[in-house]
Structure 1
Amino acid sequence: MAGSTGGGSSSNPSPAPPPPKILLAKPSSGPLPGKFARGAGEDENVPHRSRLPPVGSLNLLSDSWDFHIDRFLPFLTENTDFTVVGIIGPPGVGKSTIMNEIYGFDGTSPGMLPPFAIQSEEIRVSARHCTVGIEPRISAERFILLDTQPVFSPSVLAEIMRPDGSSMIPVLSGESLSAELAHELMGIQLGVLLSSICHILLVVSEGVHDNNMWRLLLTVDLLKHSIPDPSSPMLSHPQSSSLGPEKESRDKLHVGAEYMATPIFVHTKLHDQHLIPHNVVHLRKALAHYFSSSSFMREKHRNIAKCITDDNVDPTLLSSFIPLKNRDDSPKAQYESYISTLWKLRDQVLSMACPSFSRTLSEREWLKNSAKIWEL
């Protein structure tokens, strides 16, 4: 499979157990038991409510911004042929819709809920967001999909802010921070994690240029260099759980080739003028120039950097351009439809030859080591 960590089936000589049942729909929300209960009669829209996902959620991040694996681990196997796809972007740009498409969800099937909840009109007008933390799913093709909470999100900021302006979430080892700073750091942490543990990272923006997302990616690139990939042997060392002196630990973990997920820049809600071939080429050139000195354009992306200045470059090589959804209804539409561009993006991700981790590891090892990377 393209983008896999290599290898085939598990080396265990005994017959492989059947893979866990794949969870399609997001579990329904229910009352939170124990210490997370807020009272039976409390309005769910009360400010400063707990951010903890409902019981049954597979979320990888807890209410205290800690990484936990217990809920998702049973869905993973000792299979070593898998691909991890993460996504990051601001609110309302279609991240969950894109992930549902990559998963292969058929919205025409009666009674089936999408694996990733999408923003309803009610949620949109109330300025809220669907995804909290990191919601994982795994497809039949063993694609591990990571949908994340939005960055640059006013609703996330409002949710973590105390009346005095401080953050409810201890983003940095319990250190007290302002909500604004904690909110910014949360986006950076998500970006660094995804670029470390994913094979493919979808960077989604609305419209043509999104300087905030581009700056975020450069910050991620700057901070990523001290973080290993999840196959690093040092993460499996017994002493790795005791990180010791920070610099010494990071230096040891940094041994080996630098790893960076392959990015695909996805631009959504585009108008016809944005899809004119000349403008598409211009945008790709701007991206290549902006990230020319980053790890995203190093040797393993040399072909992208070379071809991106060619007017005949394949439009799916580095970027994907998705028009407004309602443009499909126009009989005068000149360019590809919303549906066809989503299909093209899915085909690109499923067939993409992206770099492997430094060594072969299983799905379960990947998750356990991802938790250790989060600690860094």
Structure 2
Amino acid sequence: MSESGHSQPGMYGQGRRRRRRRERDPGPPGQNLSGPSRDRDYVPRERRDGSEEPTGPLLQKTPIILAKPPGERSKPSAPVSVTPALEKPIMLIKTREEGGKPGTAPDVAPSTSSAGTAKLEREGQRPTQPVYQIQNRGMGSAASGGAVDPVIGQTKLLPPEKMKHSIKLVDDQMNWCDSAMEYLRDQTDMLVVGVIGLQGTGKSTVMSLLSANSPEEDQRAYVFRAQSQEIKERAGNQSSGIDFYITQERVIFLDTQPILSPSILDHLINNDRKLPPEYNLPHTYVEMQSLQITAFLFTVCHVVIVIQDWFTDINVYRFLQTAEMLKPSTPSASHDSIGSSGVDDASEYYPHIVFMQNKARREEFCPRNLKKMHMAVDKLMAHSHLKYKGTLSMLDCNIFPGLSRDYLETEVNLFLLPLMENDGEDALTRAGSGPPLFSLLPGYRGHPSFSSLVSKFRSQILAMSRSQLSHTILTEKNWFHYAARIWDSVKKSSALSEYSRLLS
């Protein structure tokens, strides 16, 4: 009894000591599932030597196995993430307004050029570049990750707004108008074409055909309004001041009122309109208006077209030379450059001038008569600085296929347009020659059709060289401000004032 009594407590005491030793010394990792320091990389079912764990109530719970991703199993100290592994990393890119470039620290300041460009883009400004370069730049910034408003991006890609009719640049009171500013852009690839001529020579019609219309359209739909039948019957003028029109090809056309117009003079006399105080006689005021407009075109245009309806009026050439003499001087970058060179004419700007013989007759297309016309214009313009030769040729249009280039010894910028009329039997009937002998064959006119000649003339005008108007390259908006300053200087010119005093 005593032995059994002593043995039972000893066995129970020995079991308690084993359990306590096991709790204090958990052994190899993975054996104690409830311990706070277990490692989750091992399976807690067996010992390393292959011996089984003693059965007990603790082994009946289902174990929870947490495995690491394969790439992180070599790093035992890395924390375990419950987020599933991603194949591609996530990159967070900041906008330009928030700071520097993507991937840089916030305290690192961006470069000066990138900061200036970002500031210009936020303010909606662009450097002076052609339209297509501005559009490509906007697309590039959007592709590079910069924050670009989609509405602004679509606006930049839209084509320029098309004008439906001409607007006033200078009104009938000779005052400057600002309505043309909204159609201009910040780009430099432009061509400015102006026109002058006597009353009824067809200036508005020719400018409409060069800009936006075709001969087949109704003249009432032309962008520059031509003379109506009522105005023709009372010998009036349709245009007044200077009209402005710009095409989608960025070509600016300036249509003007007739020079030395008798209808404007008649209007001044009959309506008792008050003249400016510096003019005493109405005819002096009309002539000075014409000189102001012509001198203005000689300063702000690349090409000036002089339209006549018969060959030739000597007074027109005298008027052109007077306007050239009174033309305001071209602004220069510095006065020292002119003084050091010693040649003032080298810094002066002179446009290309083209003589248009409108409503030409059949005999004027004869090569012999054409040669005489070229020689006459060359002698009349011999002492002029205007570029009146070397940029336009009727021989290049294949109008006279049998003539060689050396036939015209002195070729000037002269082009002939026939009377605008419909093709077919109606034109021959109006000419008095009756119906053609063979109805299936077209009637011979001695020149190509009016439509083909207008197309060839337009291609040569648009292909003319675009010289620099001032000492800096002008954009369309800069040209508008430059033209406004030139018009103001023309109206206040001391040379023109002195000339008007000589006339009175």
Structure-1-length-normalised TM-score: 0.73
Paired residues for 1:163-202 under 5 Å:
168-170=274-276, 174-202=277-305
Structure 2 CA distance for aligned equivalents of residues 304 and 100 of structure 1: 20
1:240 aligns with none
Deviations 1:19-38 (A, max 9, x none): 65222235xxxxxxxxxxxx
Which residue of the partner structure matches residue 281 of structure 1? 371
Matched, 1:261 2:351: yes
Task: Count residues with an aligned counterpart.
Answer: 308
Which letter maps to 1:360? Answer: I
Identity of aligned residues (%): 27
Give the CA deviation at 1:162: 5.9
Could you list the per-position Cα deviations for residues 95-142 of structure 1 after superposition, in whole angstroms to 9, with x for gaps in the alignment?
A: 111111111314656898211111122211121111110000001110
Partner of 2:487: 374
Which structure has more relative contact order (CA 8 Å, sep 6+)? It is 1
> Secondary structure at the residue paired with 1:101?
helix
- 5+ unaligned residues in a row in structure 1: which ranges? 1-5, 27-57, 235-253
Q: Quick check: 1:365 aligned with 2:478?
A: yes
Out of 455, 463, 470, the position equivalent to 1:343 is 455
Q: Secondary structure at the match of 1:145?
A: strand
Q: Deviations over 1:247-276 (max 9, x none)?
A: xxxxxxx89711011000001111111221
- Aligned pair in 2 of structure 1 residues 365, 321: CA closer, same or farther (>3 Å)? same
Deviations 1:138-185 (A, max 9, x none): 011100000000112211112233666xx6453xxx413311001111
Amino acid at match of 1:296: L
Per the alignment, do residues 159 and 125 of structure 1 end up closer, same or farther by CA in structure 2, a change over 3 Å counting? same
In structure 1, C-alpha distance between the alignment counterparts of 2:176 and 2:345, rounded to whole Å: 24
Asked whether the equivalents of residues 196 and 260 of structure 1 are also in contact (C-alpha less than 8 Å), the reply is yes
Contact conserved, 1:88 with 1:150, CA < 8 A, in 2?
Answer: yes
RMSD: 3.3
Match of 2:170 in 1: 61
Aligned to 2:243: 135
- Asked if 1:318 is matched to 2:318, the reply is no
Which amino acid letter does the alignment assign opposite residue 8 of structure 1? P
Kindly name which structure, 1 or 2, has the bigger radius of gyration based on alpha carbons. Answer: 2
Unaligned residue ranges in structure 2 (runs of 5+): 1-127, 139-152, 335-343, 396-404, 429-442, 490-504
Q: Residues 369 and 233 (structure 1 numbering): CA distance in 2 closer, same or farther, change over 3 Å?
A: farther
Work out whether residues 132 and 149 of structure 1, in 8 Å CA contact, stay in contact via their aligned partners in 2. yes
Q: How far apart are residue 338 of structure 1 and its match? A: 2.4
TM alignment of 1:221-300, pairs within 5 A: 221-224=324-327, 226-228=328-330, 257-297=347-387
Cα deviation for residue 332 of structure 1 reads 3.0
Deviation of residue 81 (structure 1)? 0.6
Residue 212 of structure 2 contacts residue 223 of structure 2 at CA under 8 Å; is this kept in 1?
A: no
Report deviation, 1:373: 0.5
Contact 1:327 1:337 in 2 (8 A): no
Separation in structure 1 between the aligned mates of residue 219 and residue 325 of structure 2, nearest angstrom: 45
Change (3 A) 1:183 1:111: closer
Quick check: 1:93–1:204 contact (8 Å CA) kept in 2?
yes
Cα separation, partners in 2 of 1:120 and 1:315, compared to 1, 3 Å: farther
| 1: CA distance, partners of 2:255 / 2:315 | 19
Deviations 1:326-356 (CA, angstroms, capped at 9, x unpaired): 4852323112232222222111111222423
Conservation of the 8 A alpha-carbon contact between 2:392 and 2:413: yes
- Once residues 317 and 368 of structure 1 are traced to their aligned partners in structure 2, the CA distance between those partners, rounded to angstroms, is 33
Partners in 2 of 1:255 and 1:281 — Cα distance? 31
Cα 1:25/1:219, change in 2 over 3 Å: same
The 1:220–1:136 alpha-carbon spacing in structure 2 relative to 1, beyond 3 Å, is same
